[in-house]
Amino acid sequence: MTGEELVRRRMHGLYLTRPCPDLETLARDLLGLHSWFARNVAFSGAIRGAELFGWKTALTKTWLYRGTLHGAVYEELPLLLALHAQEGPWSWLGLSTVQIDELCDKVLRLMEDGVCSRAQMRRIFRWDYDPETLGRIFSPWGGIFVYLAKQGRVAFQDMTSRDFDLIAAEPTLSPAQALPELARRYFTVYGPATRADAALFFGLDRQAARELEQLDLSDLERIESGNKVYYAAPEPAALPDIPRVQLLSGFDPLVVSYADREAVLPPEYRKAVILSSGICLPSVAVDGRVAGLWNVKKGQITLEFFTEQPRAVVEEAREQVERVRWQTGL
């Protein structure tokens, strides 16, 4: 399997060379859409041909694998959360297990009474904890809400809100029970991919990674290439070519969902696309390889290539960005 064949199959599986009918189908098949910045969900849907009507409320925004925010289909949450729901309580909060349980009960009762923002919670609890502990509990990065979200008890009110709602999406499976189904779904859409890719995608600890290594994947296509073993759904009879120009969203699955990213992201451009903070910027691929950056902010588009490109490539990329701007209204 050549690098071109690898990218070609991945782009097809990730709806980059075939349209996806709607955002829910896209989020279901891709096991959630990265939403650290909400606009990336709209970007991802637009470049994949999905209908965006009501996109801010079509999915549930919460923390999934690797502590990252995703937009997911609500009914999928009990399964998607199962891999990490049993983690914690976290020592970095500076509280004992009993104290965290008591805090969670108080937070949930307050939410039942309509207190749904970090700012409100900080004011209410300001006399109960020292400023440093209070800052950790209600951190802008999530704090206690991450802990509750991983249990399927809270989620963001919508894709752009900073406030939370109570939900009832508690996992019913153990991590060991959920892993086989999630792994097969990953390889079916993201493949060809290695077991190391899947372990990275799901943020598995050592024990779970060992369980992944032991899974029987004989129902999937097995491809040996370059001293690696890849797994995938059977190759489609008619596989589209790699587009000459293809926009990729911020945190696009084609870029961030694999342990080895060099098939798509040249090493010399890695720091320009994935910042030291971990943020992955929207990029533009030329012949399947990242070659520049793009964005839409407050209705204004930006487009920058790392090296000089043919005029036709630049014009096609700009037309695609304009279509995304029009479709998303951002």
- Region 264-286: what's the mean pLDDT? 96
Q: How far is C-alpha 56 from the geometric centre of its chain's CA atoms?
A: 16
Band (330; pLDDT cuts 50, 70, 90):
confident
Peptide bond into 253 cis (omega under 30): no
Structure confidence at residue 89 (pLDDT) = 64
Provide the residue ranges of all domains of the chain, joining segments of one domain with +.
91-150, 245-328
Structure confidence at residue 238 (pLDDT) = 86
CA angle 189, 33, 86 (to 5 degrees): 90
Residue type present at position 76: E
The pLDDT of residue 91 is above 80: no
Band (66; pLDDT cuts 50, 70, 90):
confident
- Region 41-53: what's the mean pLDDT? 96
Rounded CA gap, 330 and 43, in Å? 9
Which of 194, 193, 214, 212 has its CA nearest to residue 204?
212
Output the six-digit token pair for 75.
């009914």
DSSP sequence for 52-113: -TTHHHHSEEEE-GGG-EEEE-GGGHHHHTTTTTT----GGG---HHHHHHHHHHHHHHHHT
Strand runs (DSSP E) across 106-197, as ranges? 154-156, 164-166
The whole-model pTM stands at 0.94
- Determine what percent of the chain is predicted with pLDDT higher than 70: 99
Q: What is the mean pLDDT of the chain?
A: 95
Q: Residues 138-186: pLDDT tens digits?
A: 998 889 999 999 999 999 999 999 999 999 999 999 999 999 999 999 9
